[in-house]
Amino acid sequence: MDENQIINELKTQGIDLVSAIPCDRAKGLFFKLPEEFRHIGLTREEDGVGISAGAYLAGARPLVALQSSGLGNMFNAILSLTSTFGLPLPILASWRGGENEVIPAQIPFNRPLPKILSAAGIPYTIISDPDRPEVIGNAVSDAFAKKTPHVILVPQDCLFETACSATCSSPANSRPFSLSYERDWRIPVMTRYDAIRKIARHVTDEVLVSNIGVPSKELHAVNDRDENFYMLGSYTQASAIGLGIANVRPDKRVIVLDGDGSLLGSSILPVIAGTAPENLTIVALDNGVFGSTGNQPRPGADTADLRLMAIAAGFEYTWTVHEPKELESAFFASAENGPSFIHVRINPGNRDVPNIPLSPVQIRDRFQSVFSSSKE
């Protein structure tokens, strides 16, 4: 089958958002995906899991396309987010590591990949007949019908590319840019709970996505709402989920309560800046520790500047705040333009709050209901 047949199958299944990182054995397909679908390019495969989760929750039918070796970077996010919350995620993977593989590093993970997927309980389909592209469509349909991940492995001998004359033009270098940056770090006065409470008091119909662990518990204790998506796993995926929601529903303001460790462990900031959703605000709650695991110091607590990282990634609207009134001002200002990034420097410490008394499916269903009702 060629890339056009694959694209036709995806369109038949209603796929309307593709997150992708390319494979050199399927160049034509990865050149055409941005032309045929709403598309978000990735630099790290697991970010596609979070983006797809947010997109589905907001009403889209997403798919991730990649080289099969990238699945190794996705397993925790697939199992702790997609599988835990019961979300559909079709994954189209160019399958490397076969008998004719010439790159040794592709073999150890990819050759036993079906057994690895089976061990993880992730459904998969191997395309064995290049004359049956409908098998891809059936696998996509299965993912949505059963609300499960489903990996579609396309071996090299089943993918025949049409003549591809696509070329990549040089990036636009004419965008004016100047930077004068003076860091003013003061002693923080807020804890994470204080900052979350300040934000939660000012939300009305905005969507909130909160990071894993204690941040979600604190948000639930402060202001439980259907519009809150509480993460129960998937370290580094909060902002990716927010991006998926914001991309699908530009009419809704999306606020992500992310953490310093989570953002430093992710590569999502350049993707957000490049996609440029005007309705997305990332609130980076920076206490310099791994708060949900006992407040162990994180690397770079005194040196890594999250706001400067956001600026370097391409964010135009950024703030660093230390006090409640500064946070309030930045929160209101961030609603005017986006994507926005608020670096909130806070003191370590967790509020003793109860666990969230909702199952993953309950969190999913009531959050999705927000988008269903807003369309009426």
* Res 166: pLDDT: 55
Going from the C-alpha of 147 to that of each of 246, 248, 299, 366, the distances in angstroms are: 21, 19, 37, 16
* Res 169: pLDDT: 58
* Res 293: pLDDT: 81
CB atoms within 10 A of CB 72: 14
* Res 164: pLDDT: 58
Could you tell me how far CA 243 lies from the centroid of its own chain?
6
Q: Using alpha carbons only, what angle is made at residue 53 by residues 316 and 202, rounded to the nearest 5 degrees?
A: 55
Give the chain's largest Cα–Cα span. Answer: 65
Instruction: Spell 24-51 as b/e; 16+ CB within 10 A means b.
Output: ebbebbbbbbeebbebbbbebbbbbbbb
Bridge partners for 281 per DSSP: 255, 340
Going from the C-alpha of 298 to that of each of 30, 288, 322, the distances in angstroms are: 37, 6, 19
Query: What architecture does CATH give domain 192-374?
Result: 3-Layer(aba) Sandwich (3.40)
Q: Where in the chain is the domain with CATH 3.40.50.970?
A: 3-158, 192-374
Structure tokens at 278: 């005007």
Q: Are 42 and 269 in contact (CB under 8 A)?
A: no
Q: Are 117 and 151 in contact (CB under 8 A)?
A: yes
Three-state SS across 263-309? Answer: HHCCCHHHHHHHHCCCCEEEEEEECCEEHHHCCEECCCCCCCCHHHH
Average pLDDT, 10 consecutive residues per value, the chain (376 residues):
95 98 92 97 97 98 98 97 98 93 93 98 96 97 98 92 60 70 92 97 96 95 98 94 98 97 95 98 93 83 93 96 97 96 95 96 98 72
Segments in 147-233 forming alpha helices (H): 192-200, 214-223
DSSP state letters, 314-329: T-SEEEEE-SHHHHHH
CB atoms within 10 A of CB 170: 5
What CATH class has 3-158?
alpha beta
- Pick from 89, 79, 51: which is nearest to 243 by CA? 51
pTM of the model: 0.95
